[in-house]
Structure formats: structure tokens, C-alpha cells
């Protein structure tokens, strides 16, 4: 394991999350790096730490473009010791934590018929399953519009 001292760390690095950038002092431990990420990007504060990844771009060979490599906790020190000042650390979040919540009930079902919520699809938009054939005539766009209206 690499021991990090101020002389082995770059002066600053760049955290990037959803195309927003912030300069930070490099953390000496992976856990501290996660603390900094959650502090600098408020929307990460509610994401479980095990669902946040810290990544860097690496050249595998000179003819191929750089690839994104996740930095493990055990490799954090060595990665920071080799990082250049201003180098970018991309913050990733597992997909399930980026999806909007689904709701067990919705107010105002159409025409007195019961409306039930089915599990969210991969986009995170709940598919509303109408109970009566007359409700099934709504287009997907109308249903998404109604979902948007209920959420906001």
C-alpha cells in the first residue's frame, strides 16, 4: 500500500459528476475521498457509499483511446501518488440510485376505476396499469404526462 504524504500528492485534483467540475485537495484515503465527493455534490449525500465509484481514465496502449477504470479502495493511494495536478476523477453512481422513486399509490384514478402501479421500467418511469378498457386508450405520452403532473 502506498503511503501518501503531501510531497507525493498532487496539489489539487478535479472531481467530475454529471459534467460538473470542482477542484479538491486529494484525499489521503478512499473513505475521505468519498466524504469529499458527498460534501461537494449534495445529491450524493443520500446515495449509499457502496453505490458510489471513483474512476479515472487510463491508456491501455498508445493506439487505443483511454478507458474508464474504477479505482478500488486498495489502489487509491497508488492512484493518487501518480495523479497529475488537476487530474480528473469521475464520480459514478449505480443506476438504481439515479432513478426517480416509484409510489405505491396515486391520487385521482380516472373514472372511478382502480389504478394500480406496476414496477418501474429501466427508465424509472412507473407504468400505470389501467383497470378498465376505457383507460387503456391513453397513449404512453399521456400516461407519462400524468406521471409528471403527479410528481411535480
φ/ψ (deg, to 5) at 130 = -70, 145
CA distance 130 to 110: 9
Class of domain 13-97: alpha beta
Give the pLDDT confidence score for residue 29 in this predicted structure.
Answer: 95
Check: CB of residue 117 under 8 Å from CB of residue 129.
Answer: yes
How much is the CA Rg of the chain, to the nearest whole Å? 22
Query: What pairs with residue 15 in β-bridges?
Result: 22, 89
Give the pLDDT confidence score for residue 11 in this predicted structure.
Answer: 94
Give the pLDDT confidence score for residue 117 in this predicted structure.
Answer: 43
Give the pLDDT confidence score for residue 15 in this predicted structure.
Answer: 98
Q: Kindly report, as residue ranges, where domains of CATH 3.10.20.90 are found in the chain.
A: 13-97
Strand runs (DSSP E) across 1-120, as ranges?
13-17, 20-24, 52-58, 67-71, 88-93, 115-117
Give the pLDDT confidence score for residue 136 in this predicted structure.
Answer: 44
Give the pLDDT confidence score for residue 116 in this predicted structure.
Answer: 45
DSSP annotation of 70: E
pLDDT in tens, the chain (152 residues): 555 555 678 999 999 999 999 999 999 999 999 999 999 999 999 999 999 999 999 988 888 999 999 999 999 999 999 999 999 999 999 876 555 666 655 555 555 554 444 444 444 443 444 444 444 444 444 544 444 444 43
Give the pLDDT confidence score for residue 22 in this predicted structure.
Answer: 98
Give the pLDDT confidence score for residue 98 in this predicted structure.
Answer: 56
**In the chain, what's the furthest Cα-to-Cα distance?**
71
Amino acid at each position: 500500500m502506498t503511503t501518501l504524504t503531501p510531497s507525493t500528492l498532487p496539489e489539487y485534483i478535479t472531481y467530475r459528476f454529471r459534467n460538473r467540475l470542482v477542484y479538491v485537495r486529494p484525499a489521503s484515503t478512499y473513505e475521505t475521498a468519498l466524504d469529499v465527493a458527498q460534501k461537494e455534490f449534495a445529491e450524493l449525500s443520500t446515495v449509499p457509499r457502496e453505490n458510489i465509484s471513483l474512476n479515472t481514465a487510463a491508456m491501455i496502449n498508445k493506439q487505443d483511446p483511454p478507458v474508464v477504470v474504477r479505482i478500488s479502495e486498495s489502489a487509491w493511494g497508488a492512484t493518487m501518488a501518480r495523479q497529475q495536478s488537476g487530474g480528473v476523477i469521475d464520480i459514478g453512481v449505480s443506476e438504481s440510485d439515479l432513478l426517480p422513486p416509484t409510489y405505491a399509490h396515486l391520487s385521482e384514478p380516472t373514472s372511478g376505476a382502480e389504478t394500480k402501479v406496476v414496477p418501474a421500467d429501466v427508465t424509472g418511469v412507473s407504468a400505470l396499469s389501467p383497470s378498465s378498457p376505457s383507460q387503456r386508450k391513453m397513449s404512453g405520452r399521456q400516461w407519462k404526462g400524468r406521471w409528471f403532473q403527479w410528481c411535480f
